Amino acid sequence: MKPPSAAPAIDRDALRELTGGDMEFERELAETFVSSGDQCLAEIIAALKVSDFDTVRKRAHSLKGASANIHALDLSQAASSLEAAARENSIPAIGGLVADLSEKLAAVNAELRQVG
């Protein structure tokens, strides 16, 4: 459980506005994001194992946009930082950024699983 003072991982009001209050659409959007976000993270981790920074950058870019679309702004910022580090082949920074991204993605997924 996260502490009550922790900011939500998603701006639920903005997400509800995006979906026009259509709970079925919101559920579908949440399910799609969880599935694709987990896939992006898996691809990032696999790409890191073979030092494929171009794939890390592309997957981080995709996750940055997808998370911004659902108003998960902390996750979007974490993905943006990873994208920039991968673009610069900043190997020392990438490990910590992936850990941060993974943690934020888990928080977003946990909130999205409560949608509906």
- Give the pLDDT score at 62: 96
Residue 6 within a domain: no
Compute CA distances 90 → 35, 50, 94, 104, whole Å: 28, 15, 6, 21
Any domain includes 17: no
Residue 14: inside a domain? no
pLDDT value of residue 2 = 44
Answer for the pair 83, 59: CB distance below 8 angstroms, yes or no. Answer: no
Tell me, what's the pLDDT at 91? 87
Structural domain includes residue 4: no
Q: Is the pLDDT of residue 7 over 90?
A: no
Please tell me the predicted confidence (pLDDT) of residue 116.
Answer: 60
**Residue 15 identity (one-letter amino acid):** L
CATH number, domain containing residue 93:
1.20.120.160
Short-list 70, 69, 71, 72, CA closest to 103: 72
Q: Is residue 33 part of a domain?
A: yes
What count of Cα atoms within 13 Å lies in the side-chain half-sphere of residue 43?
16
Q: What is the pLDDT of residues 65-103, one digit of tens each?
A: 999 999 999 999 999 999 999 999 988 899 999 999 999
Distance in angstroms (rounded) separating the CA atoms of residues 33 and 81: 20
Q: How many domains does the chain have?
A: 1
- Residues 14-44 have pLDDT tens digits of 999 999 999 999 999 999 999 999 999 999 9
Give the pLDDT of residue 8.
86
